Amino acid sequence: MEALRKAGRQSTPVAPGMEEKVMVAIEMPISAASVAVKPRRMFLGAPFDLKSQSTVLAMLRDSAPVASFRYIVTPNVDYVVRLKSDEVLQQCVRDAWLSVCDSRPICALARLLSFKLPLVTGSDLTQALFRQVIGKGDRICMIAPNHDVVARLRASYPDVDFRALVPPMGVLDDTQAMQDCVDFVVQAQARFVFLAIGSPQSDILAHRLLRHPHARGIGLCVGASLEFLVGTKRRAPRWMRSLGLEWLHRMLSDPRRLWRRYCYGVVPLLALFSREIAQRAHHAR
């Protein structure tokens, strides 16, 4: 953990400005000399890949099953707000294979500035993967939130080869538990790896796997997406999602845990948006 925090402090800061393209170097654990370079756009201080869900799904479908490990992050409002002051999270998102927007409110703010930011929610992407890509015999690894999710997934998809580990609570502060997660994923050698233990735990775990020489597959940091998929948690009705109110549904569904996150996130988000407007005005001069 400390090594990653040091790495975050030493990394080069990403230049601000939504219209500026950022060239991101991704470390490939197997071939140290192999470096993938791709353009990204900054918005609200977070880097995003401007790819639709169908494009991301096609990339996942076409990826070689035995390729070296890489991962996808899905920043939402809470993620973007924390990103401003969390150097570890900044390192994780910079080194991600893909960073896609999981927030209708953020997409709406982007539209106000005539910036088309594609919406790719972790929940929709997970559902599409199981419906359209994952098939009979595919090995899927999960670092799962609880045993009920694992049991329901195995019952719903009996032809899929699931390898699952449920880590203890507080895994982020448990060195051995984190290492157990890394070892489990490496041993699984799965096509897809669902990291569903929340942020920043999933992101930090994905980053550790990226640097492991024998890790394989594509990691997806998808929050509660598996719980939505199997029904242990209920997603907002479609009309609420279309209006960008899924956050409200989630807060009302679990107010004790989520009210502070959403209520205290509004002011920082508006501050980030104000800064975005100011930066655009400065660059336009």
User: Does some domain include residue 132?
Assistant: yes
User: Does some domain include residue 40?
Assistant: yes
User: Does some domain include residue 100?
Assistant: yes
User: Does some domain include residue 197?
Assistant: yes
Instruction: Work out how many domains the chain is built from and give that number.
Output: 1
Residue 102 and residue 30: Cα distance in Å, rounded? 30
User: Does some domain include residue 260?
Assistant: no
Q: State which residues of the chain have pLDDT below 50.
A: 1-3, 5-37
Host domain of residue 199: 2-233
Q: What is the CA radius of gyration of the chain?
A: 18
Q: Can you give the pLDDT at residue 267?
A: 79
Task: Give the model confidence (pLDDT) of 172-215 as tens digits.
Answer: 999 999 999 999 999 999 999 999 999 999 999 999 999 999 99
User: Does some domain include residue 238?
Assistant: no
Residue 24, φ and ψ in degrees, nearest 5: -110, 125
Judge if the upstream peptide bond of residue 255 is cis by omega within 30 degrees of 0.
Answer: no
User: Does some domain include residue 250?
Assistant: no
Instruction: Evaluate if pTM is beyond 0.75.
Output: yes
> Residue 161 class from Cβ within 10 Å (0-12 exposed, 13-18 middle, 19+ buried)?
middle
User: Does some domain include residue 154?
Assistant: yes
